[in-house]
Amino acid sequence: MRPWRGALRQGGIRPRLARKQTDGMMRLYHSATSPYVRKVMVLLHETGLLDRVELVSGSGSPLDPGAAPLGANPLGKVPALERPDGPALYDSRVICRYLDDMAQAGLYGTGPALWDILTIEATADGILDAALLMVYEARLRPEPLRFAPWVEGQWAKIDRALDALETRWIAELNGPLDAGQIALACALGYLDFRHGARGWRTGRGQLAAWFKGFATRPSMLATQPA
């Protein structure tokens, strides 16, 4: 059950131009398949802030901004968050930090834990950046211009990052819920969604087991890409 997607289908959410918030609601520009948006959505579910946010369809691409929220994010990317009391926020890391602060959820920890959480979050986002570039290469670049070694170089980054998570970060991943775990779960979900044939689980039994458990959280089930 995906209440927010249901709202989209029923016409409750429509793409619109950025405008000043007067109703106290925040507006999140999103795409149902964006793993960066999913990070924010999972955090909204986990912190109980979901009903404070209106979802607005807003995806584009580097070749065509389309419905991208240029007024809210000059980079033309989702997620972007309009809020009543300040300029729009982007990117997903800033938005997650902002919402965590608003909810006082403590998902970034305190003391030394903060640096671990930020590093896991950066590793997850780096996996996503490489995985998305691979998708764009195949989808947007004309066949004669594609360069396979560049694509494999992106996958090599992902491979190394997954190895680092398997060998260095499992204890932290098995600790209390935090923003690094949320980012990583969205990144691994995206690998399954777009790069399933690469078999990221092979040789990474601990990471695979962690993700299997995390993926059963209601926040993850409610935000699966489709």
Binding site for ligand GSH (CB under 6 A): 31, 34, 36, 59-62, 76-79, 91-93, 125, 132
Of 161, 171, 169, 168, nearest to 200 (Cα)?
161
**Residue 211 to residue 147: CA distance in whole angstroms:** 32
Q: Min. distance of Cβ 212 from ligand GSH in angstroms?
A: 24
Report DSSP state, residue 72. Answer: T
State the DSSP H helix or E strand holding residue 87, giving kind and residue range, or none if neither. strand 86-89
Q: Min. distance of Cβ 223 from ligand GSH in angstroms?
A: 14
The three-state secondary structure class of 81 is strand
Q: 157 vs 170, which CB is nearer to ligand GSH?
A: 157
Q: 90 vs 211, which CB is nearer to ligand GSH?
A: 90
Q: Which residue is nearest to ligand GSH (CB)?
A: 91
* C-alpha dist (Å) from residue 133 to 39, 87, 207: 18, 28, 23
Strand partners, 57: 30
Would you list the DSSP string of 74-125? Answer: TT--S-EEEETTEEEE-SHHHHHHHHHHHHT--TT-STTHHHHHHHHHHHHH
Q: Min. distance of Cβ 225 from ligand GSH in angstroms?
A: 10
CB 121 within 8 A of CB 115: no
Of 125, 132, 124, 138, nearest to 211 (Cα)?
124
Q: 67 vs 222, which CB is nearer to ligand GSH?
A: 67
Q: Min. distance of Cβ 73 from ligand GSH in angstroms?
A: 8
CB 107 within 8 A of CB 100: yes
Q: 165 vs 183, which CB is nearer to ligand GSH?
A: 183
Q: Min. distance of Cβ 222 from ligand GSH in angstroms?
A: 18
Q: 123 vs 204, which CB is nearer to ligand GSH?
A: 123
Q: 36 vs 211, which CB is nearer to ligand GSH?
A: 36
Q: Min. distance of Cβ 203 from ligand GSH in angstroms?
A: 27
